[in-house]
Structure formats: C-alpha cells, structure tokens
Structure 1
Amino acid sequence: MKVVAFERSKQGTGASRRLRNSGKTPGIVYGGASDVQLVELDHNALWHALKKEVFHSSILDLEVAGSSQQVLLRDVQYHPFKQLVLHVDFQRVDATKKLHTKVPLHFMNQETNPAVKLAGAVISHVATELEVECLPGDLPEFLEIDLAKIEAGQTMHAKDIVLPKGVALTAHVEAENPVVASATVPAAKQSDAAADATGETPAA
C-alpha cells in the first residue's frame, strides 16, 4: 500500500496546530540507520486510510520527496472527541531483519460449525489480533482462524493457529498461549437440553 507524505521542517505545538488547521497531519519516520524524519500527510487521505485494516497491519511504501521507503504504522494519536488525527508514527523496516508486529485475526466457518447449528453454541472471539515475528516479506495481512470444528465447551488457543511459512508467534505469546476463541452453550439452551432428556418442562 502506497502512502504519500511531505517533508516538514518546523516542529512544536504551534507549528503542528497550523498544520492541522491547513488540513495536514504531522508525523515522524524513525528506525534503521537513517535519522528521524519529520513529515506531514494530507489529513483526509490519512483518515480514510486508517479505516482500512491493511493500513495497520501491512508493510507500507511511504513516499517522501520522491524517495520511497518501507515502513510500518506504529502509533496514531486521535483527538479525544473530534474526527481528527493529531499525529502518526512510522517505523522503517529492514528486509533482512525480523520484525515484531500485531496481525489481525479473521474468523472463518463459524456459521457452518455443528456446535452452532445443532447445539445452539455461541462462539466468542476472545482476541482480535496476535503479535507475530517474521521477516517483512513474510508478513501476512491477517491470520485465518478456522472455527469449523470447535466443539461446545472448547477453547482455541494461539498455538492452535496454523501459521503461514516464515511466521511465528512472539516469545511472550508462545509462553502465554492466550485463548483466541471459545464455544459455549448458553444456560437457557443447557436447561432446554436437560428438560428434553428428562421429559420435563423447565420452570418459568
């Protein structure tokens, strides 16, 4: 995904306020062997880009003064109540060095799951993203979580996810192995099932 930015020379609260008043958003680019670079971006274009999941989880081609560099979006500061982006941070990536970043989770096949269709189970998405490590060229836009076979009462953990080649969970995620999805049967459904088994009608 390509992002166009422009060099800026002035910094400070006053300069940033003037930028925002003119429809621009201040930002910085850091990392690698190069110095920190001050940039500005068109606010409206940035606002719409931030609504796209891929903008948050993919390697971006950031063009500044005709020169392109690969970066990751690392931080966004929003105004507390206005639809306004106050500042953005981009980190340069090195194609030869592994990076740590969070990748969104996409849950698949929930509607066809037998526990949902037949037992009335409810599948909860406990996590929406996971932190992985990989080379920039191996970074996936998202990780697919197949919910076709999770059974009522079961949970799915980070280590249960089939990761793409070259992608691994970061050490702390590997150690914690957090729950990413769970399938539960609501109490009312359990009560109905017990009543069916005994032939009794549950008390109102």
Structure 2
Amino acid sequence: MSDQKLTATGRKDEGKGASRRLRRAGRIPAIIYGGSAEPQSIQLEQEKTWVASQKEWFYSSIIDLDVEGKVEKVLLRDMQRHPYKQIIMHLDFQRVNQNEAIRMSVPLHFVNGDTSPAGKAADVVIMHELTEVAIACLPGDLPLNIEVDLSTLALGDTIHLSNLVLPKGVEIPQLKLGSDHDVAVVVARHGRVEAEETAEGDEAAAEAPKAESKDASEGEEK
C-alpha cells in the first residue's frame, strides 16, 4: 500500500453559487463522508490537486487527507471534471476503517511483454483485454497495482483473472461468481488474424450503407 497526502480546508458555504465562487478562486469543492462522523464539506487547491490527479495513486490508493491539521484516511470515490477545461469540478472522498474490507479497482501493470516468446515474434499481437481489476482487501493490504508477468507468454496463450498472482490478503470477488466470470486479461494471437478480422469488420460496415441505398432506390421506383 502506498499512502499519499492531500491538504484541504473546511468550508461552510454550500450550493451551486458557493461552488462557482470557489472554482473562480482556484479552489475545488469537495466532501468527506462515511464512517461514524458526519459528512464534511471541504475545499482543495485546484492546481495542486489537478497535478495529483494525473498520478495513478490518486485513484487507487488510500490518501491521508489533512483538513486543517486533522488527518483522515480516505479513498477517492467520485471526481467530476469540466467537459473541456483542465478543471476538477467536485470530489467525493470516503473515510476508511482500517478493520473493514474495501473494494477498489486497481490498475494492471504488464511487465516482460517485450522479452516474452509472444513479444519477440513479429507476427504475434499481445492484446490487453483488461487494464484494471476490481479487488477486495483490508485497507492495510491495498496494493497500488497488480503486476501481470508476461515473460512466458507465447502464441495462443491466454492469461485469465484466476492466473493473476495477488498480494497477500487480496482477492478478486468476481471469481466467486463462477468460471464464466474468469475472463481473459491478456491474449496472444497471430497479427494477421487480427488484421483479417478488422478488415472483415470494415467491409461489413461499408456494405451496410450500400444495401440500404439499394433498398431505398427500389422503393422509389415502385
């Protein structure tokens, strides 16, 4: 687990008008909820928080949130961005109980792909079917990411969720739902097969408008 730190201050004014004023002043309205305490309205500095939001840990780590000297351990649960500006509109943080299991989606890190048999073959494509995985664990066991070792991956191989090597205390709840939920994470296949399937899809898409156009012209003739 990798704890990170953010700094915030409390806020009393609420509502859309107050939030707009905060954003104009370079601040982000936010809230902390959960646990035994009441929800608390806070504000964070826009620029520093935006920089932090570009880091992977911002979304998958327990954060030490310092609110005017009082530090609470929280998880980011929701972030609203401006549709086209580099501005965070609002943040939701959930308090963490160290003795209660949490569920989080953490990123997958693929390693040794270039040195694997599949990676060395010119006509093989390594396809990443998933880029993150939902896990459950105690807060103290939360990993920053799950590493996927591709060193032995060869043509025709598939790595499933059940093949992932998980840190101690971490599990994938999806696997408890049955074998149908043991989905592929990585697949190694011939590059030319991938290209042929893509070409077939493109041809089918190109033919569809022609068929519709023919039907329409026949209708007009009638």
C-alpha displacement of 1:136: 0.4
- Name the aligned partner's letter for residue 178 of structure 1: V
- The CA RMSD measured in Å over matched residues stands at 1.7
Residue identity opposite 2:58 in structure 1: F
Matches within 5 A, 1:48-67: 48-67=51-70
Supply the distance in 1 between the matched residues of 2:172 and 2:80 (Cα, whole angstroms). 27
State the number of aligned residues. 190
Q: Is the 8 A contact 2:118 2:126 kept in 1?
A: no
Query: Compared with structure 1, are the counterparts of its residues 120 and 98 closer, same or farther at alpha carbon in structure 2 (3 Å cutoff)?
Result: same
Residue pair 2:60, 2:144 contacting (<8 A) in 1 also: yes
**What are the residue-to-residue correspondences of 1:1-16 with 2, within 5 Å?**
1-16=4-19
Unpaired runs of 5+ residues, structure 1, are 192-204
Alpha-carbon contact 1:120-1:189 (below 8 Å) kept: no
Identity %: 44
Which protein is bigger by CA-based radius of gyration?
2
1:108 aligned residue (101, 111, 118)? 111
TM-score by length of 1: 0.89
2:155 matches 1:181: no
Output the amino acid matched with 2:192.
Answer: A
Does residue 85 of structure 1 match 2:88?
Answer: yes
SS of 2:121 mapped into structure 1 = helix
Aligned counterparts, 1:138-157, within 5 A = 138-157=141-160
1:122 has 2:125 as partner: yes
Kindly indicate whether the alpha-carbon contact (under 8 Å) linking 1:159 and 1:174 is maintained by their aligned counterparts in 2: no
Moved over 4 A (4+): 188-191
- Which residue is equivalent to 2:165? 162
Q: Which runs of 5+ in 2 are unaligned?
A: 197-222
Which of the numbers 75, 79, 84 marks the counterpart of 1:76? 79
